[in-house]
Amino acid sequence: MEDKMSNIAHEYIEDYIRGLIPPRKGHIKVMEDYAIENDVPIVHSEVAQFLRVLIKSHGIKKILEVGTAIGYSASIMAEAAGEGCRVVTIERDEDMYRLASDNIKKLDYENTIGILKGDAMEVLKDIEGEFDMIFLDASKGHYDHFLPMCLKHLKINGLLVSDNVLFRGMIATDKLLIRRKITIVKRMRKYLAHISNMPELETSVLPIGDGVALSCKLQEV
């Protein structure tokens, strides 16, 4: 829930949309406040809300997340998916892993959310089973590398949600480009072109939060 200028939607639109979302309660709110105070990049609240709608409308129960941070989006998704759900989330940073584990314990989600520690490039190779939804929210420059492994673990008609795909507007226009981000920008443009043109996927790119791509897996890759 970063409140920096996104360069994606007008600020007044973002503020208005965020104002419509019921405030989070309890320990989820504590996590939100912690993220703001400590500059931890958690999902924007309108994207969290979008995930909740997808989960509830599709009866999603098995979720894989790449990029746990403090466990905020994993907890939001577990809450939305409700009883009998399973969220598996991957985090490589030791401190984030510890904070997320602690938060998950406080929320009593120890049997619902499993955190796998390590680099997603390695961890994804060892994951077993199929998921109804995959939330990709880790190193932006590597989405295209994660893609084949994610698709392998996504069931037919499952949803792939990729966050930060418009990266502060830089992906859509060079006018906003920060030179040191050029590699990420080039890779993300390649990723978006890829998922938009794969016959195995149907993709829609949405200008909410920092940009979200929603893809549905139509057939095996």
Closer to ligand SAM by CB, 116 or 154: give it. Answer: 116
Among 43, 81, 133, 171, contact with ligand SAM (rule: CB under 6 A)? 43
The residue nearest ligand SAM at its CB is 67
Transcribe the chain into DSSP letters: ---S--SSS-HHHHHHHHHHSPPP-HHHHHHHHHHHHTT--PPPHHHHHHHHHHHHHHT--EEEEE--TTSHHHHHHHHHH-TT-EEEEEE--HHHHHHHHHHHHHTT-TTTEEEEES-HHHHHHH--S-EEEEEE-S-GGGHHHHHHHHHHTEEEEEEEEEESTTGGGTTT-GGG--GGGHHHHHHHHHHHHHHHH-TTEEEEEE-STT-EEEEEE-S--
| Least separation in angstroms between CB 111 and ligand SAM | 20
Instruction: Tell me which residues in 195-214 interact with ligand SAM (CB under 6 A).
Output: none
Closer to ligand SAM by CB, 104 or 172: give it. Answer: 104
Among 24, 92, 187, 217, contact with ligand SAM (rule: CB under 6 A)? 92
Closer to ligand SAM by CB, 3 or 119: give it. Answer: 119
Q: Does 127 bind ligand SAM (CB under 6 A)?
A: no
Among 7, 17, 41, 98, contact with ligand SAM (rule: CB under 6 A)? 41
Q: Does 188 bind ligand SAM (CB under 6 A)?
A: no
Q: Does 72 bind ligand SAM (CB under 6 A)?
A: yes
List residues binding ligand SAM (CB under 6 A). 41-43, 67, 69, 72-73, 90-93, 96, 119-121, 137-139, 142
